[in-house]
Amino acid sequence: RLPSRASVLIAVTLLSYSLPELTVTMTDMYDEPKKYEGNLSPYPHNEITEPGRAKDPVAYLLATEQRARERQVAYETVKLLRQRVIHCYRKEGVNHYENCRQEAQDLFDIITKKDLGQLHPKWEKPEMNDGW
């Protein structure tokens, strides 16, 4: 004969109280934010010297992906700075001209740089790769 559902529920509840390490936390909402602790090394710069052909195609693709990551970091930096300015404007209200000056200046400095401050490699022919 099988035990009733109520007796199984009571047994599980008593077991969870007697063994607290078996209890499951349902959310990680109260945990500290997780941060990446590793170190990513950039791929060495590689470019096309003659039209349509790279010296090392694999290294060229890895360098292209590195530049794409740098571009994405620049975009996300602008988004974060913009969110800071918006948050400050909403918090300060009519006093935002005085109290949000530094946040607005940080955003202005980044968006007026070439390619939003993206890191660029040292190009052999910079005119050929302008805009990357």
Q: pLDDT, tens digit, for every residue of 52-84?
A: 788 888 888 888 888 888 888 889 889 999 999
- C-beta of residue 109 within 8 angstroms of C-beta of residue 67: no
Query: Using CA atoms in the order 122, 126, 131, 132, what is the torsion angle rounded to 10 degrees?
Result: -30
Q: What is the mean pLDDT of the chain?
A: 77
The tokens describing 48, both together, are 């096309």
Share of residues in the chain with pLDDT > 70 (%): 62
pTM: 0.61
pLDDT of residue 56: 84
Please state, in angstroms and rounded to a whole number, the distance separating the CA atoms of residues 55 and 74.
28
Contacts of residue 103, Cβ cutoff 8 Å, sequence gap at least 6: 81, 84, 85, 88
